[in-house]
Amino acid sequence: MRIKKFVGHTLKDASEQMKQELGPDAIVVSSRKVTRGGPFNFLGREAFEITAAVDDVVPGQQNNYRARPAAAGFQQQLGRTAQELEEQETLASLRRIAGQYDRTGRDEQRPARRQQDPGELVELRSDMEDVKGTLKAIVEHLKHAKMPALPDTLQKAYGRLVEHEVEEQLAVEVIQSVIARANQEQMGNKQYMERQVVAALAGLIPLAGPERSRKKKSRVIALVGPTGVGKTTTIAKLAAIHKLVNGQDVGLISADTYRIGAIEQLRTFAGIADIPMEVVYKPSEMAVALRKFRAKDIVFVDTVGRSQRSRKELTDLAKFVTAADPDETHLVVNASTNVRTAEDIIDQFKIVKPNRLLFSKLDEAVTYGPLLTLIHKHNIPLSYVTTGQAVPDDIRVVDPAQFAAMVYAGEIAHA
């Protein structure tokens, strides 16, 4: 079985192309109008697209289409064999499942309803899994069929974005915006096009807004987030860099009196780095600690890790953060968190008014595309990414261009 799409200005036009290329035995599997302005419809004309199928070996016409050279087009040069295989597998799988359901249907027409035995249930469940798998294969196929006429460079760039789990619609928009700005000559220049794709990705990342005017000398930076994401370790990294590298006067406040060992964890570091530290047990004590550090350049506030699912805990946390009145509140999110959970974390932690997003444990994440979707969607500027346990080395300030390059490359950029 061979499947192919044909696009014409009319249905007749498309079906004539089909007959010419696949022969008289070809059948139309589906047809649709390709609307103006749809994804990658940059020719700006309305068209009809039909999906046609023909058996590979048609008796007496074996050479009907095989002898003819394939029509020119970007799509055909790319993974044709893999695609054909995938289509064949998908169809075979669909036929098999349809056959099974057909049999089941006939069985059910018998007058008396039988009790379902456990074996049948297991079989049914396995069928459902097959259906799911098949649907997934179809969706995957359609994903790539969305862009019939992309230049090779952009086809690959798009594939790469999707592979790195940039949300598909976002990837489409990025590629569209690059197409809109490139001329024919630029389209053929791989490096140039890749730079444009990275620049378009960077354009999706919000920048930090202007600083509010401040009366106090010290800059207060609080880190908040779910449990175990690396808040205390990140504070140690930042405090060490500001003190040892930038030569600034730094103070540490621990507001985590909940977890056993949390204070000792920061105190040990504070001792090694020779940075003064205060412990705050109640929100009302925050002002006292801040007053002690009023001559410092920077004061870092470490907070207790809280589940975003507990409103009560978040409300308590918000009292500490409000009392600290930070200039920057960084919401720390583990880079491997799945998008739904990360969205929930961002939504629920709004109660502490974070104005920066900090992705931790990038070294453990498989792809960074979902992070881009998050930043873009929630419009929170990115501050740092952390890339390992080593204090202070494993932290990076990331500007949008660097982060976009990391998403595109699928690896952590070298400092």
Ligand X SMILES: Nc1nc2c(ncn2[C@@H]2O[C@H](COP(=O)(O)OP(=O)(O)OP(=O)(O)O)[C@@H](O)[C@H]2O)c(=O)[nH]1
User: What residues make contact with Mg ion under the rule CB under 5 A?
Assistant: 231-232
Choose between 217 and 259: whose C-beta lies nearer to ligand X. 259
Residue 181: contacted member of ligand X, Mg ion, none (CB under 5 to 8 Å, by partner type): none
Choose between 160 and 231: whose C-beta lies nearer to Mg ion. 231
Residue 361: contacted member of Mg ion, ligand X, none (CB under 5 to 8 Å, by partner type): ligand X
Contact 32, 52 (CB under 8 A): no
The C-alpha atoms of residue 347 and residue 349 are separated, in whole angstroms, by 6
Contact 352, 315 (CB under 8 A): no
Give the E-state strand segments of 129-260 in sequence order: 219-224, 250-254
Cα angle 184-189-193, degrees, rounded to a multiple of 5? 90
φ/ψ of residue 394, rounded to 5: -85, 60
Choose between 231 and 306: whose C-beta lies nearer to Mg ion. 231
Residue nearest Mg ion, CB atom distance: 232
Give the nearest distance from C-beta 387 to ligand X in angstroms.
Answer: 6
Binding site for ligand X (CB under 6 A): 227-233, 256, 259, 262, 305, 360-361, 363-364, 386-389, 394
Residue nearest ligand X, CB atom distance: 305
Give the nearest distance from C-beta 311 to ligand X in angstroms.
Answer: 18
Residue 334: contacted member of ligand X, Mg ion, none (CB under 5 to 8 Å, by partner type): none
Give the nearest distance from C-beta 264 to Mg ion in angstroms.
Answer: 11
Contact 70, 50 (CB under 8 A): no
Using DSSP's 3-state secondary structure scheme, residue 176 falls into helix
How distant, in Å, are the alpha carbons of 1, 45, 68, 115, 363 from that of 4? Answer: 10, 21, 15, 45, 42
Give the nearest distance from C-beta 304 to ligand X in angstroms.
Answer: 6
Choose between 95 and 259: whose C-beta lies nearer to ligand X. 259
Choose between 148 and 410: whose C-beta lies nearer to ligand X. 410
Q: How far apart are the first and last CA of the chain?
A: 51
Give the nearest distance from C-beta 232 to ligand X in angstroms.
Answer: 3
Residue 90: contacted member of Mg ion, ligand X, none (CB under 5 to 8 Å, by partner type): none
Q: Which residues contact 137 (CB under 8 A, 6 or more apart)?
A: 86, 89, 90, 93
Choose between 105 and 261: whose C-beta lies nearer to Mg ion. 261
The C-alpha atoms of residue 262 and residue 256 are separated, in whole angstroms, by 6
Give the nearest distance from C-beta 389 to Mg ion in angstroms.
Answer: 13
The dihedral built from the CA positions of residue 274, 275, 276 and 278, taken in this order, carries a sign that is: negative
Residue 394: contacted member of ligand X, Mg ion, none (CB under 5 to 8 Å, by partner type): ligand X
Give the nearest distance from C-beta 317 to Mg ion in angstroms.
Answer: 12
Choose between 133 and 388: whose C-beta lies nearer to ligand X. 388
